[in-house]
Amino acid sequence: MTEHSLWRFSRAIHHALNEGQTDQLEELLDDNVEWAIYGPIDMFAFLGARRGKAAVIEVIKQIAKAVNLHRFDRESIMLGEDSAASLMRYSVTPKNGAPISVRLAHFAQFKAGRLISLRAVMDTFDLVEQTLGRHIHLPKIA
């Protein structure tokens, strides 16, 4: 039984984020990989959509420069033959900022062991408030 593509990919991306080494990750990205982490690109330019290996490597380098990753907990995981979905909780520190904790759900698709699609959804309002270090007043709608 071979290892699921998610585990190789997960090691490679965390290695890239923590050590700035992207060689392993490059081998695991399809040339035309589709990538999106939905969120406020005004605050974090590394959020949003990217297309292709070079663009994804570049965005990983931007994330590695912008935040220190301390730990992550996988709260839920589903594995298919060539796909995976996880609900994760990341503890990170933005450079020059205080530690924050963000919940992120990602859906990944692989082909021949390489990532062809990744889409991630975060509780971005919580991310913004934690990053600002203050509460944003909201009207009560319902």
Piece of the chain touching its own copies by CB under 8 A; list 15-23, 26-34, 50-58, 124-132: 124-132
* Cβ pair 43, 131 in contact under 8 A: yes
82 counts as binding its own copies under rule CB under 8 A: no
- From 44, 60, 110, 116, residue interacting with its own copies (rule: CB under 8 A): 44
DSSP letter, residue 91: E
- From 3, 95, 98, 112, residue interacting with its own copies (rule: CB under 8 A): 95
- From 31, 42, 71, 98, residue interacting with its own copies (rule: CB under 8 A): 42
94 counts as binding its own copies under rule CB under 8 A: yes
Name residue 89's beta-bridge partners. 73, 103
Amino acid of residue 118: L
* Cβ pair 110, 82 in contact under 8 A: yes
SS (H, E, C) 25-57: HHHCEEEEEEEEEECCCCCCCCCEEEECHHHHH
Piece of the chain touching its own copies by CB under 8 A; list 4-12, 24-32, 53-61, 100-108: 100-108
CB of residue 71 to its own copies, shortest distance in Å: 19
Q: Any idea which residue has 């991306």 for tokens?
A: 13
- From 38, 73, 74, 111, residue interacting with its own copies (rule: CB under 8 A): 38
